[in-house]
Amino acid sequence: MQNEQSACQNRLWSSSGTEAHMPHDKGLPQTGDSQEIGQDAYDCLRAKRPKGWQLTELGGVNDFGFDLQVQISVKQQVVHPFRIQLKGTRSPQRSADGSFLSIGLSTTTLRYFDNTDEPVLLVLCDLSIDPEDPRECPLHYVWIREELERIQIASIPVEQKEAAIRVPTANVLDRTTDLVDEVRKRHRLSRVGHALETSVAGMDPSLGSEDRVVMVEAITRNLSTRSIVFAQALAEPATDVWINPPRGSLAWLLTEARSAIASGNVEKCADLLRQASDRLEPASAMEKAEYWHLTGRLRLVGRDDDGASRAFKSAAEMQPQAKYWAAWAESEMRRRFRTDAGQDYSDVLDALPADGDPALLGVKARLLAASRKYAEAIELLDTFEGAESLAARAVVETMFSNPERALQACIDGIALEETGESTRLLVLILRARARFNIALRSSRVEETRGGDSEDEVLPPSGPIGLDASSLRKAWADIEAAVSALGLR
């Protein structure tokens, strides 16, 4: 019987071509440290997740950094979803004072987080505390949005592969942790942008969706350059058609100083700026820039050209806006006009930013003209249109004794509705000057018998050949300019 069984086995082995063997214990798939750490961190989170958290795994090929989705149950209602990026470490990098742990995350993942509106919580499990039982290890957390702002993710170069994220050790995640209010707040913040876009749409239904988004982005971006007083005034209930700074605030002092210098009340402006100077330490960059800009205007009135130039330069360096750079460039032209350096403004042109703002381009054209580069000035003026272009063209043509061209630029500039008050005043003065020059162009004065020009006497009707019609128009323009000055 035994011989028959052996023969049967031999026939089976022979027919299969293989031999019977024990299970493999080598050459099998391996998990590795990263898989073990990930599993331990997940076991820890499952054991210590706060009460009411419903976890849904998002693992697979399409999670791209989102490991879990959390839905919080409050009074048997599921509310406020958010995402979790779960990390574990057996060798935590602690700060010197132990206040936070650092962990490197891929910058591509961080940029992806920055693109999402949904709250993302980074949870870090410190597996070094109890390597044998990960369920006893501590969990720490940080909201990714806070860290994205700290590391300034938008400024990190694409070539950089990782960025260090800080997880405060004081943020302990366990069964008693309550993040409901925090999650609710973050959802409220994410809806603010949508609410603002809806408000803009109501104000101007003709705006397209893309235009509304661009405007909302600009509002949030520019708000950061203002002071907290501006934000507080914006948050107050609307009681006026425009935002007015609180009386006595730095913004109020600067606004009043601007009105004072515009109306010619130099003493009041100086007093307001003295008060403002005592409050510059906590001021925003824009407030400091405006202070120096107004100081420059005040020094111009006092004929302190050097001091005005320094003040305008400080304003431009503090807040590089086109109007501040333009004021500095104009003050340099004024300052150097009486010196030997009045023919070369190449250093000023080189210092100005490559900005397409019309006011700045107009100043550049005047600098070229002051450097006796007429063709280059006109070529630059041909690259843009509008009131600033026409005003600068009138100045350039006046400098090169072309009154007809200057007059036409003035006429076109005044006809534009967009022309501002100060630009309109300049154009009125230049129009009067152009017409005066045209009126006198063909006139002549007979020499006195003695040949001494100091003894020349003009007839009451004016020089011979005077264009009386153009002169009357010039006089009317002078009256209009003086009237505009009186209204300022």
Tokens of 438: 């045209």
- Reference 359, options 337, 327, 403, 401; nearest CA is 327
The closest of 363, 358, 360, 319 to 345, measured between CA atoms, is 363
Neighbours of 147 (CB within 10 A): 20
pLDDT category, 331, cuts 50, 70, 90? very high
Q: What pLDDT is attached to residue 13?
A: 45
pLDDT of residue 466: 76
Count Cβ atoms within 10 A of the Cβ of residue 273 and give its class: 0-12 exposed, 13-18 middle, 19 or more buried: buried
Decide if 313 contacts 289 (C-beta within 8 A). Answer: no
Strand pairing category for 77-89 and 120-126: parallel
Q: What is the pLDDT of residue 444?
A: 63
Instruction: Please name which of 330, 374, 327, 325 lies closest in space to residue 354, comparing C-alpha atoms.
Output: 325
pLDDT at site 335: 87
- Tens of pLDDT, residue by residue over 193-218, are 888 888 888 888 998 989 888 888 88
pLDDT confidence of residue 61: 46
Averaged pLDDT score across all residues of the chain? 85
Contact status, residue 27 vs residue 21, Cβ threshold 8 Å: no
SS3 per-residue string spanning 296-351:
HHHHHHCCCHHHHHHHHHHHHHHCCCHHHHHHHHHHHHHHHCCCCCCCCCHHHHHH
- What are the backbone angles phi and psi of residue 237, rounded to the nearest 5°? -60, 140
User: Which residue, 393, 388, 339, is CA-closest to 368?
Assistant: 393
Tokens, residue 69: 């989705």
459 falls in which pLDDT band (50, 70, 90)? Answer: low
The Cα–Cα gap between 71 and 141 comes to: 17
Q: What value does the mean pLDDT take over residues 291-304?
A: 95
* Res. 12: pLDDT tops 50: no
Distances (CA, A) of 49 to 65, 353, 369: 19, 55, 73
| Nearest one of 455, 29, 101, 485 to 264, comparing CA atoms | 485
- Residues 217-265 have pLDDT tens digits of 888 888 877 778 788 778 877 766 677 888 889 999 999 999 999 888 9
- Judged against a pLDDT cut of 60, whether residue 450 lies above it is answered with no
- From CA 401, how far away is CA 382, in angstroms rounded? 19
**Matching residue, tokens 């490559």:** 354
Q: Please state the φ and ψ torsions of residue 448, each to the nearest 5 degrees.
A: -75, 160
Summarised one tens digit per residue, pLDDT across range 133-184 is 999 999 999 999 999 999 999 999 999 999 999 999 999 999 999 999 998 8
Long-range contacts of 216-221 (CB under 8 A, 24+ apart): 220/193
What's the rounded mean pLDDT across residues 437-454? 66
Q: For residues 458 and 68, which has the higher predicted lDDT (pLDDT)?
A: 68
pLDDT above 90: residue 315: yes
